Structure 1
C-alpha cells in the first residue's frame, strides 16, 4: 500500500511537533518519492544532520516503502525570517 502525504504529515506532527509542513508526493501518486518542508521547535540548536536524522527516525517505518525523501528542516525562527 502506498504511503500518503496525510500519513507523513500526521506522523511528523506527532513525533516532531511540527508547526508547519509542506509535503508533496513527487512520484505521480505511487507514494515512493516526496519533498518536504518541516518546521519544528525541536530543531532548535540542532545541526542539519541531526535534524535529518530526527525526521528519518520519526518516519522510519514509512521510509522502508519510500525510495526518495527530500527534506528541508527549519526552526520556527528560521521559518519566520525566511517569510518576512
Structure 2
C-alpha cells in the first residue's frame, strides 16, 4: 500500500520509519538530524513555506509535508484496515 503525503507525492507505506510533528524541529536532536539530512540533500519539501505540518522519515529521504501527522496516521491506519 501507499501513503499520499501531499502534492503529487505518494510513497510506499512500508518505507516509512516515522511521522513527526513539524514542531519537533525545535528539539536539539531533531535539528542535528535535519542538518545532516540537508547536507546529504535527502530532504524533499512538499509543503509551501509556512504551511509545513509534519516530517515523514524514510530510509532514503525526509519529506516535509503540508499534512498533519495525525491525518497521515489516520490515512495509514485506514490502509491497514483495508488490507485485512
TM-score (norm 2): 0.26
TM-score (norm 1): 0.26
